[in-house]
Structure 1
Amino acid sequence: MMKFNAIAALAALTLTGCSVGKYNYSSTAMERVDMSFTGIPTVLGIGSLGTSIPLTPEYSLTAAHVARFAVQRVKAYHPYCDLAIIYHKNDLKTLPKFRSSEVGEPVKMYGYSFVSAMPVESSGVNLALTGIRNGFNKKPCAAMASNAGVVQGMSGGAVYNADDTISGVIVGYTSKVRQRLKPNEPLKDVSLYIPYQGFKEWLAASTS
């Protein structure tokens, strides 16, 4: 079980609207993530489209709420976070590299928009680690809150560090995150992703 230095906030994924922040069309997103079709709307409102991250020639990484209704078979679900590995044929020249990032570091998010079915990206910084609780996330799962934009459909997409390593997997967004040390100054309209330090061991064991 991974341990985090501090949990700075608590989010319950109380979603409003279809997006938060700014995002733009991105040809780079096409090189880093795949569109994942689902047949049934999910609890996070993804509808019939999500995103996945090519891992190996046989597997991809995505959000569990996307994988549950995806056309691909699921190889493994994370025990307490909204993550899954699916069987997917990928033409990879090099395998992706992962690195944990800290609060304050810049990140870029890549995925597919449910609104336009186009590849998109956004930029921002990590704001706080937060506990995350809903049907797909339970204790002790923690997410990173960011001010990078997210639109429905990007769940399961990749979060990249400035050094071109993957920092985590997008799982959604929330209208408000209450900060433990500053309860009267909540973080508003933030994106949420599961950071690599929270699934590093599970990923290695599930793909070995």
Structure 2
Amino acid sequence: MTKTLMIVFMGQTLLACSAVGQYHVDKQAEQKADLHFIGIPLLAGAVGSSFPITENYSLTAGHVARIMMLEVKAYNPLCDVALIYQDNHGKSIPQLAPATTGEHVKMYGYNAYTTEPTSSSGAIAAFGWWDKPKQSCYVALSSAGGIQGMSGGPVYTDDGKVVGIFTATHPQRNQTIFVPYQEIARWVSLETRS
């Protein structure tokens, strides 16, 4: 891929995750999400988030894994999700669970502009296909806020379970988009065992 193409791709990918809704600095995010940074601090770079699911693997958004050049175990074939190698020894591993409509959620990650730990809260509004039914990723829409850099971060419920991975925003609807865990559960299980 040429440098020009790579710059265009990175720009388009980052635009997919514009800011929507309310979000704020939250030190709890440091316990829930990991920061990934590439570039020159304070001058130019990109920020993304991930979270542990085993002692050796974390989940993140596929575009974060590509931009950050992370060591990837596998990319999901339909969804913007990647399983990455990560040393998570000593970290708290969250329980993963399916997401349901109306459920209150809290999203965690890092703000791309400040690199501060960030969170937002809201409710799951609806589920739908990213593109063509049964041929694309089944995603969830949420009223929680989001900003660039939070991509790849976990979506928690009030009972402390992770129900998805933050991947994008929908500025026209002022909503965040995440991949619900039930959409990738089988893939995660297969990839972490192989």
Q: Does 1:117 align with 2:115?
A: yes
Query: Share of identical aligned residues, percent?
Result: 39
8 Å CA contact 2:56–2:89 kept in 1: the answer is no
Q: Does 1:143 align with 2:139?
A: yes
- Pairwise CA RMSD: 2.1
What amino acid maps onto 1:129 in structure 2?
F
Take 2:111 and 2:171, find their aligned partners in 1: how far apart are those partners? 19
Take 2:95 and 2:17, find their aligned partners in 1: how far apart are those partners? 33
Take 1:69 and 1:140, find their aligned partners in 2: how far apart are those partners? 22
8 Å CA contact 2:96–2:181 kept in 1: the answer is yes
Q: Secondary structure at the match of 2:30?
A: helix
**Matching residue of 2:104:** 106
Higher helix content, 1 or 2: 2
Take 1:92 and 1:201, find their aligned partners in 2: how far apart are those partners? 26
Q: 5+ unaligned residues in a row in structure 2: which ranges? A: 1-12, 40-44
Normalising by the residue count of structure 2, what TM-score does the alignment of the two structures yield? 0.83
Q: Secondary structure at the match of 1:207?
A: helix
**Matching residue of 2:57:** 59
- Residues 93, 65 of structure 1: alpha-carbon distance in 2 compared, 3 angstrom cutoff: closer
**Matching residue of 2:151:** 155
Q: How many residues align?
A: 174
Q: Does 1:198 align with 2:194?
A: no
**Matching residue of 1:29:** 29
Q: Secondary structure at the match of 2:58?
A: strand
Take 1:84 and 1:108, find their aligned partners in 2: how far apart are those partners? 21
Take 1:17 and 1:85, find their aligned partners in 2: how far apart are those partners? 20
Take 1:111 and 1:100, find their aligned partners in 2: how far apart are those partners? 20
- Residues 145, 31 of structure 1: alpha-carbon distance in 2 compared, 3 angstrom cutoff: same
Report Cα offsets for 1:115-168 as digits up to 9, x if no partner.
Answer: 11000000100001021149xxx9231110001000000000000011100010
Q: Secondary structure at the match of 1:18?
A: coil
Q: 5+ unaligned residues in a row in structure 1: which ranges? A: 1-12, 40-46, 177-187
Q: Secondary structure at the match of 2:171?
A: strand
Normalising by the residue count of structure 1, what TM-score does the alignment of the two structures yield? 0.78
Q: Which stretch has the larger CA shift, 146-155 or 87-96?
A: 87-96
Take 2:91 and 2:51, find their aligned partners in 1: how far apart are those partners? 14
